[in-house]
């Protein structure tokens, strides 16, 4: 690997790419169904005091995702932003930070793995080989580009759910375990924060198993590929005995961190097992992995093949362990895509180590496929938007009106300007890739990352009004609010957590679960069996515009359910009593 191949990716361009990917999707929309709305509902309930901090509840229902820290972060953000930020806006701020933390931790993890001597390229006989730091930086840039390019990252990383917190803390723990042996304190703190955050985000088992893999990675690292022991100038720090230099110390630190997190999970009763009733079948699993982790998985497989004789080395074993754990979890949990999300930073790291061995023809194939795929996707987005604006061509606008009946599109200058700027930047990037920096190590992943960021940016600007209308509960709740034309509490039955959170936030209803002690004049159900027709009169049935199967039925009380018998008895004529006979 020559020095010319590890030229630095401009920092400003890399930062702008990260911001262009991270910010769209958090700004300018309502909470979406289902998990996004649910997570926001629990955070709001904690913030306003309707739920306890240590046991989040929404009208008595526990969350689907067993977690504490993500809900705390959202609740703190709502409380801090009270009076100057809308709750659904304030709650996204910490999750923006978590996504940026994921990108930063993924970059540093690859950088530390690439700094290990076992991952360095062969030195030239007469010099001129790549500088170790420059080589590690180039691979880290490539790993970050591979992470941004992963198709499965886009939606889940822009939701206010525990899944994003788990992803961020997994990347942080990955970084802590990859840190070189000469930085014990920083590596230990990073690792503890990552593992503890992962446990508090609903994945204590994953945290402990990650620590076990990190310990094995350092114990199995060959002595010849270890960094020299850290020396503060006093000469007191020495290699820690037989085995890898510094490896035993790092393995001990990781083991202690894992034990501490396990004790924390036990003390807070965080051990919750949620296994799928029926495991994911092989066909569905393959399809999920193929599209969700594209384009990292082909490059990761190539890395494993080229390094098949050195699988015990840290830069291969550690990301393979993390990706394997997340993949195994995806096969056995009710939400396989959210579990597989945790594998993306590790798969991106493996993909980065494939680049030094790629042939020019393979790199050109990746470029051409990426160019056609993302350019075609961007073209489709623009054509649909133009059709909505002008009616030409007519069919895309007809399709949108059929999928989202009632949606009225309008022109907005700022989103249009942002989308146009992103498209021009993509055209410049394609021109730049074709004409310059052909020898850069990270060149094959520039177009995949740029194309993924472009399409996500276009979706979250040009298509955002239509997507918000189709995926938000707000239009549905407005119709429910129009049907409930009188004051009073609202009794709810058979509603899911997303419905409950939407009714509380968008309509500010005073919700009560069915069979409560209060006599509510209104009742909302999700269809199903109708309540007693003698006590409730059907008022309206509201369907979500984009999904006719998602419906809410509004009832009005004929008589208060609890007082109906007493009222009937009071209204009945008193029984006649014959006068007593005179003596």
Q: Of 564 and 401, which is predicted with more confidence?
A: 401
* Domain parsing of the chain, residue ranges: 31-90, 97-227+243-357, 361-471, 474-562
DSSP 210-233: HHHHHHHHHHHS-GGGSPPPP--S
> 550: helix, coil or strand?
strand
**387 closest CA partner among 452, 462, 442, 449:** 462
Tokens of 312: 């015990």
The pLDDT of residue 172: 97
Over residues 44-95, the pLDDT tens digits come to 999 999 999 999 999 999 998 889 999 999 999 999 999 899 999 999 999 9
Q: What is the pLDDT of residues 122-169, one digit of tens each?
A: 777 566 678 889 999 999 999 999 999 999 999 999 999 999 999 999
- The strand pairing partners of 490, in sequence order, are 511, 522
- pLDDT at position 561 is 43
DSSP conformational letter for 293: T
Q: Are 97 and 18 in contact (CB under 8 A)?
A: no
Cβ atoms of residues 533 and 510 within 8 Å: no
8 Å CB contact between 488 and 520? yes
Inter-residue contact 92 to 71 (CB < 8 Å): no
Strand partners, 553: 525, 541
Q: What is the pTM of this model?
A: 0.91
Alpha-carbon torsion, ordered 347, 352, 356, 361, to 10 deg? 80
Compute how many other C-beta atoms are within 10 angstroms of the C-beta atom of residue 269: 9
- Among candidate residues 421, 306, 450, 350, the one with its CA nearest the CA of residue 139: 350
CB 190 within 8 A of CB 382: no
On the question of pLDDT at 295 being above 70, the answer is yes
What mean pLDDT comes out for the span 193-204? 96
Residue 455 CB coordination number (10 Å): 22
CA 148 to chain centre: 13
Nearest 5°: the CA angle 199, 211, 209 is: 70
CB atoms closer than 10 angstroms to residue 413? 7
> Which of 172-186, 357-371, 466-480 is the least confident region?
172-186
Question: Pick from 354, 325, 369, 304: which is nearest to 198 by CA?
Answer: 325
């Amino acid at each position: 690997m020559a020095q010319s191949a590890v030229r630095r990716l401009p920092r400003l361009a890399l930062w702008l790419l990260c911001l262009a990917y991270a910010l769209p999707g958090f700004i300018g929309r309502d909470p979406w169904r289902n998990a996004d709305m649910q997570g926001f509902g629990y955070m709001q309930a904690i913030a306003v005091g309707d739920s306890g901090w240590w046991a989040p509840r929404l009208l008595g229902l526990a969350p689907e995702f067993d977690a504490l820290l993500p809900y705390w972060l959202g609740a703190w953000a709502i409380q801090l932003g009270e009076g100057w930020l809308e709750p659904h806006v304030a709650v996204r701020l910490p999750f923006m930070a978590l996504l940026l933390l994921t990108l930063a931790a993924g970059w540093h993890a690859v950088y530390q793995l690439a700094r290990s001597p076992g991952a360095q390229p062969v030195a030239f006989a007469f010099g001129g080989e790549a500088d170790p730091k420059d080589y590690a930086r180039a691979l880290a840039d490539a790993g970050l580009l591979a992470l941004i390019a992963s198709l499965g990252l886009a939606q889940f990383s822009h939701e206010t759910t525990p899944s994003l917190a788990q992803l961020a803390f997994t990347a942080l723990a990955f970084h802590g375990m990859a840190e070189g042996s000469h930085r014990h304190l920083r590596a230990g703190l990073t690792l503890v924060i990552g593992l503890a955050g992962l446990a508090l985000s609903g994945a204590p088992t994953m945290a402990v198993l990650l620590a076990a893999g990190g310990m094995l990675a350092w114990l199995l690292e060959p002595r010849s590929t270890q960094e020299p022991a850290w020396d503060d100038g006093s000469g007191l720090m020495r290699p820690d005995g037989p085995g890898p230099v510094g490896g035993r110390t790092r393995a001990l630190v990781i083991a202690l961190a894992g034990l501490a997190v396990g004790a924390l999970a036990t003390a807070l009763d965080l051990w919750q097992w949620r296994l799928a009733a029926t495991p994911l079948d092989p066909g569905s699993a393959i399809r999920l992995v193929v599209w969700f982790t594209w384009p990292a998985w082909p490059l990761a497989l190539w890395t494993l093949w080229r390094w098949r004789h050195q699988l015990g080395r840290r830069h291969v074993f550690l990301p393979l362990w993390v990706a394997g754990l997340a993949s195994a979890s995806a096969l056995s949990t009710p939400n396989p895509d959210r579990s597989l999300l945790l594998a993306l930073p590790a798969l991106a790291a493996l993909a980065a180590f494939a680049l030094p061995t790629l042939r020019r023809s393979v790199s050109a194939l990746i470029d051409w496929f990426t160019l056609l795929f993302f350019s075609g996707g961007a073209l489709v987005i623009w054509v649909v938007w133009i059709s909505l604006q002008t009616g030409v061509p007519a069919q895309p606008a007809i399709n949108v009106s059929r999928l989202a009946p009632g949606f009225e599109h309008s022109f907005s200058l700022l989103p249009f300007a942002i989308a146009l700027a992103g498209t021009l930047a993509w055209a410049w990037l394609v021109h730049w890739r074709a004409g310059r920096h052909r020898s850069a190590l990270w060149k094959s992943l520039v177009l995949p990352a740029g194309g993924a960021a472009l399409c996500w940016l276009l979706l979250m600007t040009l298509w955002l009004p239509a997507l918000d209308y189709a995926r938000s509960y707000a239009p549905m709740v407005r119709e429910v609010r129009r049907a409930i034309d009188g004051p009073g509490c609202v009794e709810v039955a058979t509603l899911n957590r997303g419905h409950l959170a939407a009714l509380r936030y968008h309509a500010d209803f005073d919700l009560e679960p069915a069979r409560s002690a209060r006599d509510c004049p209104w009742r909302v159900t999700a269809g199903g069996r109708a309540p007693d027709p003698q006590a409730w009169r059907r008022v309206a049935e509201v369907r979500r515009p984009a999904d006719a199967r998602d419906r809410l039925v509004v009832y009005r009380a004929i008589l208060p359910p609890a007082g109906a018998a007493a009222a009937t008895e009071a209204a009945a004529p008193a029984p006649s009593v014959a006068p007593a006979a005179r003596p």
